[in-house]
């Protein structure tokens, strides 16, 4: 019976990364978990590598190779002069019979740096579009005029925009 699968039968695996996007400030490092799963045949050694990193950034896998079914910690370290911006980093799992890749979105710096000096939300304060507050560990930007509309509350979806952790 013909199949549409161009892979030769045998040992195969899949690869994943969690989270699928990282944000790091230049000079800092961030980690993600790279997981593998045996999808057919027997477990095999999978050697991990990353490509597409921005200038000054390095990727380290611990361990550098895993048996399919195992996972490794990816640490991306940046230099103080690593340019700000977002790139797609390709993580390759090099298996005995086949290779697989997964994409990791890496942002160095931030488009709008989290300003954790944003004042805490106060139910008695009147807010206008563009005001920023911190509430429940997140930063919010007002998109409408409001008083007492709590950021993150279901009924306040039209009033506040979540702009990230704080």
pLDDT at 116: 65
Q: List the one residue out of 14, 15, 22 whose CA is nearest residue 75.
A: 22
Q: Positive or negative CA dihedral for 138, 139, 140, 146? A: positive
Residues of the chain whose pLDDT is less than 50?
1-5, 111-112
pLDDT at residue 22 in the model = 92
Structure tokens at 105: 């979105």
Tell me how far apart the alpha carbons of residues 97 and 103 are, in angstroms, rounded to a whole number.
21
- Confidence (pLDDT) at 8: 55
Using the Cα atoms of residue 81, residue 84, residue 85 and residue 88 in order, give the sign of their dihedral: positive
Q: What is the structure's pLDDT at 162?
A: 86
Q: Are strands 99-108 and 21-24 parallel, antiparallel or unpaired?
A: parallel
Measure Cα distances from 163 to 90, 108, 111, 137 in Å: 27, 17, 11, 11
Q: What is the pLDDT, as a whole number, of residue 110?
A: 62
**Residue 163 Rama label (left phi>0; alpha psi -120 to 50; beta):** alpha
Per DSSP, the chain holds a count of helices (H) and strands (E) of 0, 14
Q: Tell me how far CA of residue 100 lies from CA of 10, 39, 75, in angstroms.
A: 15, 12, 19
**Predicted local confidence at residue 42, as pLDDT:** 92
């Amino acid at each position: 019976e013909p199949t549409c699968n161009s892979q030769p039968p045998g040992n195969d695996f899949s690869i994943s990364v969690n989270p699928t996007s990282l944000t790091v400030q230049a000079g800092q490092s961030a980690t993600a978990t790279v997981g593998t799963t045996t999808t057919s045949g027997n477990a095999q050694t999978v050697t991990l590598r990353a490509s597409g990193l921005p200038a000054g950034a390095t990727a380290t896998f611990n361990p550098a190779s895993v048996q399919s079914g195992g996972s490794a910690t990816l640490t991306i370290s940046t230099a103080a002069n690593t340019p700000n911006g977002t790139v797609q980093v390709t993580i390759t799992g090099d298996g005995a019979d086949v290779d697989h890749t997964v994409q990791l979105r890496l942002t160095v710096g931030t488009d709008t740096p989290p300003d954790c000096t944003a004042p805490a939300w106060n139910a008695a304060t009147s807010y206008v579009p563009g005001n920023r507050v911190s509430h429940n560990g997140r930063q919010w930007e007002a998109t409408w005029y409001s008083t007492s509309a709590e950021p993150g509350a279901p009924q306040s979806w039209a009033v506040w925009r979540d702009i990230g952790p704080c």
